[in-house]
Amino acid sequence: MTSFTSASTAASAATPAFRGRIGPDPRSGHYPAPHRYRLHLSPSCPHCLGIALTHALLDLDDVLPLDLLPAVPDAPECGYTALRPLYEASAHPYQGPATAPVLSDDWTGRIVSTHAPDILRDLAERFGGHGPALYPDYARDAIDALARRCERDINQAAQHAGSLGSDHPGHEAVLTTLLDALAALERRLAGRRYLLGDQLTVADVQLWVTLVQLDTVHRWHLDAAAVHRIADHRGLWSYARRLAALPAFARHLDLDAIARRHHARCRGQEAAGAAVQIVDWTTAHAPAPRITPARR
């Protein structure tokens, strides 16, 4: 059964976070069945982009349909009109915004989950039996730890540094957190093809989405000196360009859509770092490596 929990703040209390999971078999209620579920994603959103990449890497087009949504919701205050029937059927009366990502159940017409980390793991664990092991048992703790580091020490730190501005006394400490995380990840990649060795995993998906966000969104609010220091991690950005050449990654990277979403949502001031592009994502190219299954 799908469950949901309300957010802790009063402002978001009307917007439930649906947290249903896909179980291993019919006794689980929601279990992996071809053509039962549907993903509703806007790849301009970083959470949606990670799910879309995982879906493509697992080659799930014929098993789990994917509905792509515009970069910006058609009803800014209410979300996506196309998703509202799902929300209203799943939580009545529903008054919050109808946002993506959504994993829905076509058999019931209701939402299973809107929680991106759970959706991503369920794709890898429950639907990835014939594809690469993107979330292998032996690496789950490491993958989850890397995901937390990407979110806390890169995404949140970059956003915080941009909101403070370079003249704020706390700016350098926040920027140091970001730079230290990039340096640690670059060291981890030294001598490795991927974060956990020779096999691409969800950790690489999450880091790549984080790096795309850092270059295409967060740098617009950082000064040029900060962006140059970020760009100095050349091994990390070379890794990002290499992944961008993989068909699954290139398929869902829509730079125009990311820009439209950013400009529609952002109210911050543009800084000099906006002029310092780190990666030319439109021309990133390299021979596509062969993805081999990992042990489970």
pLDDT tens column, 49-65: 999 999 999 999 999 99
**pLDDT over 90, % of the chain:** 76
Q: Are the C-beta atoms of residues 39 and 63 closer than 8 Å to each other?
A: no
Fill in the amino acid letter for 16.
P
Q: What is the C-alpha to C-alpha distance for residues 287 and 296, in angstroms, rounded to an integer?
A: 27
Q: How far is CA 136 from the centre of its chain?
A: 19
**Pair type for strands 66-68 and 37-41:** parallel
The 3-class secondary structure across the chain, one letter per residue, is: CCCEEECCCHHHCCCEEEECCCCCCHHHCCCCCCCCEEEEECCCCHHHHHHHHHHHHCCCCCCCCEEECCCCCCECCCECHHHHHHHHHHCCCCCCCECCCEEEECCCCEEEECCHHHHHHHHHHHCCCCCCCCCCHHHHHHHHHHHHHHHHHHHHHHHHHHHHCCCCCCHHHHHHHHHHHHHHHHHHHCCCCECCECCCCHHHHHHHHHHHHHHHCHHHHCCHHHHHHHHCCHHHHHHHHHHHCCHHHHHHCCHHHHHHHHHHHCCCCCCHHHHCCCCCCCCCCCCCCCCCCCCC
Residue 200's nearest CA partner among 57, 49, 296 is 57
pLDDT at 1 over 80: no
**Domains along the chain?**
4-126 (3.40.30.10), 137-275 (1.20.1050.10)
Q: What is the C-alpha to C-alpha distance for residues 228 and 230, in angstroms, rounded to an integer?
A: 5
Reading the block at residue 122, the tokens are 């369920």
Reading the block at residue 145, the tokens are 């730890």
pLDDT at 293 over 80: no
List 4's β-bridge partners, or say none: 18
Confidence band, pLDDT 50/70/90 cuts, at residue 131: confident
Q: What is the C-alpha to C-alpha distance for residues 181 and 227, in angstroms, rounded to an integer?
A: 15
67-116, pLDDT tens digit by residue?
Answer: 999 999 998 789 999 999 999 999 988 889 999 999 999 999 999 999 99
Q: Are the C-beta atoms of residues 127 and 63 closer than 8 Å to each other?
A: yes
Q: Are the C-beta atoms of residues 97 and 77 closer than 8 Å to each other?
A: yes
Q: How far is CA 277 from the centre of its chain?
A: 21
Confidence band, pLDDT 50/70/90 cuts, at residue 231: very high
**pLDDT over 70, % of the chain:** 90
Confidence band, pLDDT 50/70/90 cuts, at residue 265: confident
List 79's β-bridge partners, or say none: 75, 98
Report pTM: 0.89
